[in-house]
Amino acid sequence: MVRAAVLPAVGAPLEITGIELPAPGPGQVRVRLAAAGVCHSDLSLSNGTMRLPVPAVLGHEGAGTVVSAGEGVTHVAPGDGVVLNWAPSCGRCHHCSIGEVWLCADALTGAGRVHAVTEDGTELHPGLNVAAFAEETVVPANCVLPVPDGVPLTDAALLGCAVLTGYGAVHHCAQVREGESVVVFGVGGVGLATLQSARIAGAAAVIAVDISPEKEELARRAGATEYVVASDLTAKEIRRLTDGRGADVAIECVGRAATIRTAWDSTRRGGRTTVVGIGGKDQQVMFNALELFHWGRTLSGCVYGNSNPAEDLPVLAEHIRAGRLDLGALVTERIGIEGIPAAFDTMLAGRGGRALVVF
């Protein structure tokens, strides 16, 4: 029996309770968690913005140590440190065949399996495949990747979502070039990783936007050269900071229609607007046909940073070893498993960066 954060139903409060995990079967791995990040996607699952089977053990950004492995698992062994990969590539679907592994058609099919049971026998699903809000988890072998050399195991949890997403948004989706101006909307865990990645890419101006004035120091430590408290005049202020043109690249990490529209309005003519945040289907963004022609901007969605974790983790590890990427700077609070519900409240209030559950 291990402790876990269970979502009993959509909209219900999380429950910290004991669960019973099965032994790993063929092609499965049991992992003892070292740490798990509390991400806005977990909140989106809990409130129904993202629809996956419940009741479920939430948590998808984590790292830990392999306890045991089932038949046929060869790339990791007991005692190995691993990063959880919540969106594994099947290698067979159309998207995987053309190299778009972040859009794998079967990436989330594992969320429908029975993962564990509660003490009263209730069957639980693994939220976003990996059920990281637990002391231990059992996952398919393709949901674990070896922790790169030189990366502390606890910090490595952040690689599983926030860093891959933020880095990929900058380098794969927006393809930020040296000397460009970048504005990042939302200074949470993903936003902080995006700011650091824009700095790594050589952006000349890195502007952070958030509703909270208290996040300015956090944003500047991550690489922001300017900080703007969000208001009705945000787009005008971004143009003022970019010689009247607007930013070359705007990256939205919030997932709200109004913020996406402001990011678009803050982008220069011919620039790129990238949407990372996950919004609800009721969040409607409006454009008129003439402005789409006139501004010539590119608007693109970004899933998991358009990343291939197997290829990107070694690159990120090199940035970490070289001191260019600081995982610890993303963490604003270290908590125990009992602190996860309060961390959800903090996210809802728009405070803090990344809360890290340390087991």
Q: In this predicted model, what pLDDT tens digit does every residue of 207-228 receive, in sequence order?
A: 999 999 999 999 999 999 999 9
Q: In this predicted model, what pLDDT tens digit does every residue of 50-61 receive, in sequence order?
A: 888 999 999 999
Q: What is the mean pLDDT of residues 224-235?
A: 98
Place of tokens 């990040």: 37
pLDDT over 90 percentage in the chain: 92
357: its two tokens: 């559950």
What the chain holds in terms of domains, given with CATH numbers, is 2-160+326-358 (3.90.180.10), 163-303 (3.40.50.720)
Q: Is the pLDDT of residue 352 over 80?
A: no
What type of residue is 69?
Answer: A
Provide the pLDDT for residue 351.
81
Q: What is the mean pLDDT of residues 192-199?
A: 98
Provide the pLDDT for residue 50.
84
Which of 41, 59, 43 shows the shortest CA–CA distance to 4? 59
Q: In this predicted model, what pLDDT tens digit does every residue of 294-303 receive, in sequence order?
A: 999 999 999 9
Provide the pLDDT for residue 222.
96
Q: What is the rounded CA–CA span in Å between residue 23 and residue 33?
A: 16
Q: Is the pLDDT of residue 47 over 90?
A: no
In contact, 312 and 320? CB cutoff 8 Å: no
Q: Is the pLDDT of residue 243 over 80?
A: yes
Q: Is the pLDDT of residue 17 over 80?
A: yes
Q: In this predicted model, what pLDDT tens digit does every residue of 96-141 receive, in sequence order?
A: 999 999 999 999 999 999 999 999 999 999 999 999 999 999 999 9
Query: pTM higher than 0.75 for the full model?
Result: yes
Provide the pLDDT for residue 280.
87
The residues, ordered by sequence, that sit 6+ positions from 196 with a Cβ below 8 Å of its Cβ are 166, 222, 223, 324, 325, 326, 329, 330
Provide the pLDDT for residue 43.
87
Residue 45: its H or E element: helix 40-47
